[in-house]
Structure 1
Amino acid sequence: MFEHKIFKMDFAGRELSVEIGKICEMASGSCIVRYSDSMVMVNTTKSAKPRDGIDFFPLSVDYEEKLYSVGKIPGGFFKERRQAFRKSYTYIKIDR
C-alpha cells in the first residue's frame, strides 16, 4: 500500500528515526519513532465520511504503556493502584 521509508537525523547528539509504510497497513497512517533507547508506535484512523452537525474536531487518544517489554511486570494491589494513577495523570497531560 505505502512505500516503506525510513527518515533519520541527528537530534541532540542521538539518532532520531521515523519509519513509515511497513506496519499497520489497514490504518490511515502509522509510523514508528525511535530515539535513543525509546520507541513509540503511532497509528491513526479516520472515517470514510464526515459526521454532520458537529462544530468541533472529534479527536480521541488511546495511550497504552507496555512495561513488560522492558522486563517490568506489575503485580500486587498497591502496584496496580500506583499504575492507575500514573495512567490517569498521563491522560490529563494528553488532554491539555
Structure 2
Amino acid sequence: MRFPHVSLSNKLLQQETHTTGTPRSKRKLNPKDVIQKKIKRGEYTRQRRGKVYVSRRKDKRDVLCITTVNHPKLIEVSNRYGQKKIKP
C-alpha cells in the first residue's frame, strides 16, 4: 500500500491486517499537531490515533510515516565511516 491514511488503517486493522507506509501530508484525518508543528532538522514528533501511529521526522526533508504494527522509536545507527545518527 503506497499512501495509507488513518481511516483506511483503522478499517484494515479491524480485519486484522496491519499497515505501514508513508502517507501524503495533506490527508484529511492526519493529526494536525504532527503536520503543522515546526520541527528542526533531526527532530521527531509523533501522535497516536487509536491503534494507528502517525510520526514525522525532518532530515533533509520531512518524512511522514504511518503504522499499526510497531510503536515508533528512535535507534542509533552508524554508517560505514563510523558516524552515528539517530533514526526512527
Interval of TM-score (by shorter of Structure 1 and Structure 2): under 0.3
TM-score after normalising by structure 1 = 0.24
Structure with more relative contact order (C-alpha pairs < 8 Å, separation 6 or more)? 2
TM-score after normalising by structure 2 = 0.25
Indicate the structure with greater helix content.
Answer: 1
